[in-house]
């Protein structure tokens, strides 16, 4: 079930986030690695945005949004591990 999440910090920026994923096709191994790095950064940005959004809600809704952030961060950790393996394989 959901855990309680407490965070103390302030966020003062807001912005619109529009993007098109139709360009996300890799034609080489190098391009695939670059795309994976891009997607990790992109997902980290989304996790930050969701974290901020969670603070707009209370109780179970906030907990569920924080759970979504945790899940996204778990996915990001898998991508980081994959990139670390890729980095180590080229050394």
pLDDT digits (tens, 9 = 90+) for 36-62: 999 999 999 999 999 999 999 999 999
Neighbours of 7 (CB within 10 A): 9
Q: What share of the chain is helix, strand, coil (3-state, %, to 5)?
A: 65, 0, 35
- Select the more confidently predicted residue: 12 or 83: 83
Helix segments in 6-58, DSSP class H: 29-54
Position 13 confidence tier, pLDDT thresholds 50, 70, 90 = very low
Predicted local distance difference test score (pLDDT) of residue 91: 72
For the segment 69-89, the average pLDDT, to the nearest whole number, is 96
């Amino acid at each position: 079930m959901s855990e309680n999440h407490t965070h103390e910090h302030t966020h003062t920026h807001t912005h619109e986030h529009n993007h098109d994923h139709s360009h996300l096709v890799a034609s080489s191994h190098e391009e695939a690695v670059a795309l994976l790095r891009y997607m990790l950064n992109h997902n980290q940005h989304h996790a930050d945005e969701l974290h901020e959004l969670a603070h707009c809600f209370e109780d179970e809704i906030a907990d569920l949004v924080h759970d979504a952030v945790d899940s996204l961060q778990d996915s990001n950790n898998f991508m980081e591990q994959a990139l670390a393996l890729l980095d180590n394989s080229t050394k």
